[in-house]
Amino acid sequence: MSTTAVRLRPASPRTRLIAAPPDQLGAVAAVVVADFVRAQPNGVLGIATGASPMSLYRGLAAHRLAGLATEGLTLCALDEYVGIAPDDPRSYRSYVLKNVAGPLGIPAERVHLPGEVDDYDQLIASLGGVGLQIVGIGGNGHIGFNEPGSALESSTRVVELTAETRQANARYFGGDPAAVPQQAMTQGIRTICNAAGIVMVASGAAKAQALVAALTGPVTSQVPASALQLHPAVTVVADAAALGEE
Ligand code: PGA
């Protein structure tokens, strides 16, 4: 596993930036998560869906095979579509069960998604809060489904998905953006920032503009991920393309 040099300097001194080759991103990020699991084997891990964290989840499963006890974790997802049945293979519940809970040996009873309870933020609080939240970043700077313009103080709520996000996710809906739900339930920006630690994974040039703005630009609701500058313990694992460095 290797990391690479990085020129970009995050505006927040509390943001740790690790650059890694694209094929090593997941393994590098998995080490960060494995350290958390070792410290809090019964802790709450916040789960992002999408393509970016897939290699991270494979990396974590490899840690489990090597002896890391992941079975005691509780999983809280960032978001879920509105109008997609929980057992639909395109639901984020299905994603979390298949790609995270299953490989990590976590029973479905300890897998939670927004929309399943009236007050998700209260559920998270009752579990003791998220110990480590995994996030990706949208090409438009969103975290979870907090699209540009989302209040930095937002809590879990139903949101309208932007045309850009529906286009980006069309690949899971037969390539048809119109088939992507118009709404989702997402943890708010404040909900995400309430996690004790956050690890962001980002790869590819399509993320560069948003990621550079989030790390080095002003904190603004126009770039929801910029809110992470206000968080005390963020690790960003990105490849050179996502950092605009190639
Ligand atoms: P992706 O999505 O990992 O599928 O690129 C990230 C996001 O939209 O947050």
SS (H, E, C) the chain: CCCECCCCCCCCCCEEEEECCHHHHHHHHHHHHHHHHHHCCCCEEEECCCCCCHHHHHHHHHHHHCCCCCCCCEEEECEEECCCCCCCCCCHHHHHHHHHHHHHCCCHHHEECCCCCCCHHHHHHHCCCCCEEEECCCCCCCECCECCCCCCCCCCEEEECCHHHHHHHHHHCCCCHHHCCCEEEECCHHHHHCCCEEEEEECCHHHHHHHHHHHHCCCECCEHHHHHHHCCCEEEEECCCCCCCC
Are residues 227 and 219 in contact, defined by beta-carbon separation less than 8 angstroms? yes
Q: What is the CA radius of gyration of the chain?
A: 17
Please give the pLDDT value at position 214.
98
Question: Residues 151-188: pLDDT tens digits?
Answer: 999 999 999 999 999 999 999 999 999 999 999 999 99
**50 CA closest ligand 1 atom index:** 4
**143 CA closest ligand 1 atom index:** 9
Which of 49, 52, 165 is the pocket-test mutation for ligand 1 (most atoms within 8 Å of CB)? 52
Exposed/middle/buried for residue 67 (C-beta within 10 Å: 0-12, 13-18, 19+): exposed
Which of 134, 137, 172, 207 is the pocket-test mutation for ligand 1 (most atoms within 8 Å of CB)? 137
pLDDT exceeds cutoff 90 at 246: no
Cα separation of 187 and 39, whole Å?
25
Please give the pLDDT value at position 79.
97
Cα separation of 186 and 158, whole Å?
6
| Cα 50 to ligand 1 centre (Å) | 5
| Cα 57 to ligand 1 centre (Å) | 14
**52 CA closest ligand 1 atom index:** 3
Closest C-alpha among 83, 93, 108 to residue 47: 93
- Would you please indicate which residues are annotated as catalytic (active-site) residues? 79, 140, 142, 147
**169 CA closest ligand 1 atom index:** 4
- Report percent pLDDT > 70 for the chain: 100
| Cα 103 to ligand 1 centre (Å) | 21
Exposed/middle/buried for residue 170 (C-beta within 10 Å: 0-12, 13-18, 19+): middle
Token pair listed for 114: 């927004």
**Pocket around ligand 1: residues whose beta carbon is below 6 Å from it?**
50-52, 136-138, 142
Please give the pLDDT value at position 167.
96
Question: Residues 197-224: pLDDT tens digits?
Answer: 999 999 999 999 999 999 999 999 999 9
Please give the pLDDT value at position 225.
98
Question: Residues 4-49: pLDDT tens digits?
Answer: 888 899 999 999 999 999 999 999 999 999 999 999 999 999 999 9
> Would you place residue 131 in the very low, low, confident or very high pLDDT band (cuts 50, 70, 90)?
very high
Mean pLDDT of 71-90: 97
| Cα 142 to ligand 1 centre (Å) | 9
| Cα 144 to ligand 1 centre (Å) | 8
